[in-house]
Amino acid sequence: MRREQTQVTPPRRVLVTGGAGFIGCNLTASLLQEGAQVTVLDSLVRKGAAVNLEWLQRQSLPGQLLFVRGDVRNAGLVTQLVRNADEIYHLAAQVAVTSSLEDPRLDFEVNLGGAFNVLEAARQSGHRPFVLFTSTNKVYGMLASGSSAGALPENGFDETRVLDFHSPYGCSKGAADQYMRDYARVFHLPVVVFRMSCIYGPHQFGTEDQGWVAHFAIAALSGRPITIYGDGSQVRDLLFVDDLVRAMGLARRNADRLAGEVFNMGGGPTHARSLVQVIAELERRTGHPIRLQHGPWRVGDQRWYVSDIRRFQHATGWQPEIDPGCGIERMYTWLQTHRPAWDDTVSSPLALAG
């Protein structure tokens, strides 16, 4: 009697650039739970990344997680890591508009040069790995600045909005965004682009320049004042990181159908909140007022941005499941229980690979 041989499916081989950053570590943890073999490329420049990496190493099985400390500007290193990857999540970036104004060349080299290195490595690999790139709503420029709700789109801004890069950061991410689309068209790579709005959640070591929801929560917990630039009426649609990670998984599973597509990714109109509303939410949790300071409006700051997420919803059935009230509570609780991890965090928005 012949014994039937059981075929074992090899684990997915995944590269996450910026995998020790906020979004990267949440994504990597999910991939590890799915049994994937994950390589994390991160420079650990940003404080908090080392804490996230240590947490990931505790989540992984022996041999499941490989960490490479490096920079996406290193084309040779990127090529080496991409060579055996089935999936690539390119999250590594310089992440702040303010830093791009201070050092435009660095912003250009990291955001556009790093993205180009990933694309060229994927093209030269010869096996068409799936690539997901995290772009930004800043590719749409300043957008609406008036206060009339009637002048704003009911469902938020959709992907047909004219690109209008504003600030070096908008230019570098926007140019990388377009390179991603074009490599999908010209070289037939299965690339998907997410133009992301306000993502928040555990493992976010937010600063004044990037990750503002976590920054507000850290300030509330530590008793430090929050500086509001403008009047605090700026509106963003909040998306909890678990919902984003689910969307990334759906994009990968539908890669053949979604290749070359760009999607606005955020919480949508039902998850839209102003800065002052988020502050009020945090004050309810702390039980005391948060000290506020005020400064002038900043260059490139959109007064009102809400993502129209219907296109990705129609394509995959995805929708946000965690409302801002619940999400802020979960993030706040995580920060409370992990105070040593963020209490000495230096407010540096630079994250070359994180």
pLDDT of residue 298: 78
Residue at 79 is within a domain: yes
Three-state SS at 209? coil
Relative orientation angle of helices 275-286 and 324-337, to the nearest 10 degrees: 50
Whether the Cβ atoms of residue 21 and residue 49 lie closer than 8 Å to each other: yes
Place 135 in a pLDDT band, splitting at 50, 70 and 90: very high
Name the residue with higher pLDDT: 229 or 245. 245
Give the residue from 241, 94, 98, 237 showing the smallest Cα distance to 173: 94
Residue at 288 is within a domain: no
Distance from first CA to last CA of the chain, Å, rounded? 55
Whether the Cβ atoms of residue 201 and residue 242 lie closer than 8 Å to each other: yes
- 169 is an active site residue: yes
Residue at 234 is within a domain: no
Strand ranges of the sheet holding 65-69, from the earlier edge strand across to the other edge: 65-69, 37-42, 13-17, 87-90, 130-136, 191-196, 262-265
Cα–Cα dist 127/119, whole Å: 13
Residue at 5 is within a domain: no
Residue at 171 is within a domain: yes
pLDDT in tens, 85-116: 999 999 999 988 889 999 999 999 999 999 99
Q: What is the value of pTM for the model shown? A: 0.92
Place 350 in a pLDDT band, splitting at 50, 70 and 90: very low
Task: Give how many domains the chain has, as a whole number.
Answer: 1
**Residue 345 confidence (pLDDT) above 80:** no
Average per-residue pLDDT in the chain? 90
pLDDT of residue 206: 87
Catalytic residue among 169, 179, 183, 200: 169
Which one of 1-5, 152-156, 228-232, 262-266 scores highest in mean pLDDT?
Answer: 262-266
The CATH number of the domain holding residue 75 is: 3.40.50.720
Determine the residue type at 286. T
Residue at 329 is within a domain: no
Q: What is the largest CA-CA distance in the chain?
A: 81
Residue 111 is given by DSSP the state: I
Residue at 58 is within a domain: yes
* Domain span including residue 141: 13-205+239-269+303-322
How far is residue 149 CA from its own chain's centroid? 28
Distances (CA, A) of 276 to 68, 109, 113: 40, 35, 37
Residue at 187 is within a domain: yes
